[in-house]
Amino acid sequence: MVRSAATNAGPESPPRVPTFERNADLRRYIGEETLTALGKAKNNTDRHRLLVEALRKEHPEMNGEAEKEARKILVNKQELERKEGWFSWIVKAPFRGLGWVWKKTFVEHPILTTLVLTVAGGTLAWYWLSKGAAGAAAARGAAAMKGFRDAAEAARAAEAGSALEGAGSALGGASNIPLEGAQGLESAGGAFLDPSRVIKPN
Amino acid sequence: MQTLFLTTEEQKAFSAVSASLREGWAVSAETQTSYETQEVLEMRAQISPLRRHPKVKELVEKVQAGTPPDKLSLPELSEEDIGEFFFMIGAKGISLLIASLLKEVKTDDDVRLLANLGEMRHKLLETNASISYV
């Protein structure tokens, strides 16, 4: 059964399921009974249905939001487990340390720093300033975003040559990667700075 | 011989790198397709502890203050935080870095970096494919 604690809706909004940084917190939220049922589910459709039922039972006021919130729980669970898998590989990765990769990538190749900051950094600034803010704060956010993008364009034209465009076109031309990769990261930048949606570890 | 995991398009770009730099490297086709969706990248950003990292917060504040990207540098981070960073940007983000780096390859270390990034992307794609709940 999904526990009723830690939803953070406003007085007139349906309750929202929080996001968890740690698997233990997510498992505690979902509850043993539902976890067991999820483990026995035949496929993803069944997992989703089980969670929707559990959410509706615990939060009847969720109404139509239960399906969306159940999907969020499943994505949260999926990404926490993927992260565990990633870190278990990283510790025995067959290459030099991550510190070396970081230094080589972002210290010795400033264009890659510009790339990352252009794609994600500007959006972080915009999002943080404009999210939940109105009037002047939102305008400041939009201005910061525009200024950052203008500066990025100038840097790109003056110093970076065609590297950034090259990255985009390489992705566009690749058989497997959709060009919206950059937009996906920008959107992720927004999520990165929305503190209302995350339950911090204890 | 060491292996470089590159997509078909990346292999074309790599073939333009000087033969002496390519020597000793075997290119293996990166054919996996389980790149992150926008929904997944958003979730990774939300569950990343980097959002509370003082140096990352400082960087974001500089961005907010309008500092142009070419005047900024990414902070030094611990290996664990770097692992968090690469997980957060995912195979999709690493592909952007690889595409950009391919235009800058000038040394053996650059090729080694390319190999490391390709290896990390390969593992992330493998992990993405192995765990899927939606």
pLDDT per position as a tens digit, A121-172? 544 544 444 444 444 445 554 555 555 555 545 544 443 333 334 333 333 3
Q: Domain count for chain B, please give it.
A: 1
Give the whole-angstrom CA distance, residue A91 versus residue A17: 32
Confidence of residue A74 (pLDDT cuts 50, 70, 90): very high
Confidence check: pLDDT of B118 > 50? yes
Which residues of chain B neighbour A151 with C-beta distances below 8 Å? 66, 68-70
Residues 6+ apart with CB under 8 A from A142: A126, A130
Q: Which single residue is written with the structure tokens 């990292």? A: B53
pLDDT digits 0-9 by tens, B64-113: 677 776 777 778 888 888 899 889 888 988 888 898 889 889 999 999 99
Which residues of chain B neighbour A147 with C-beta distances below 8 Å? 66
Rounded to 10°, the helix A44-58/A65-90 angle is 120
Which residues of chain A neighbour B34 with C-beta distances below 8 Å? none
* Mean pLDDT calculated for residue range A89-97: 77
pLDDT of residue A185: 53
CA-based nearest distance B96→chain A, Å: 6
Q: pLDDT averaged over chain A?
A: 68
Partner A, chain B 73-132, Cβ-Cβ below 8 Å: 73-74, 76-77, 79, 82-83, 85-89, 92-93, 95-97, 99-104, 109-110, 112-113, 115-117, 119-120, 123-124, 127-128, 130-132
Pairing state of beta strands A198-199 and B2-6? Answer: unpaired
Q: Given A106, A128, A152, which is nearest B74 (Cβ)?
A: A106
In DSSP terms, which residues pair with B26 in a beta bridge? B3
Percent of chain A residues past pLDDT 70, beyond the cut:
49
Measure Cα distances from A178 to A18, B7, B85 in Å.
30, 13, 21
Residue type, A121: G
Task: Tell whether the torsion through CA atoms of B22, B25, B30 and B35 is positive or negative.
Answer: negative
Which residues of chain B neighbour A80 with C-beta distances below 8 Å? 47
Give the whole-angstrom CA distance, residue A18 versus residue A7: 6
Q: Residue-wise over B6-40: b if at least 16 C-beta within 10 A, else e?
A: bbebbeebbeebeeebbeebebeebebebbbbbbb
Which residues of chain A neighbour B6 with C-beta distances below 8 Å? none
Give the whole-angstrom CA distance, residue A100 versus residue B77: 11
* Mean pLDDT calculated for residue range A108-118: 72
Helix (H, G, I), strand (E, B) or coil at A150: helix
In DSSP terms, which residues pair with B25 in a beta bridge? B2
CB contact under 8 A, B103 and A110: no
CB contact under 8 A, A176 and B50: no
CA-based nearest distance A37→chain B, Å: 14
Confidence check: pLDDT of A78 > 50? yes
Q: Which domain holds residue B38?
A: 2-130
Give the whole-angstrom CA distance, residue A97 versus residue A101: 7
Mutate to test the interface with B, among A17, A87, A98, A164 (most CBs of B within 10 A): A98
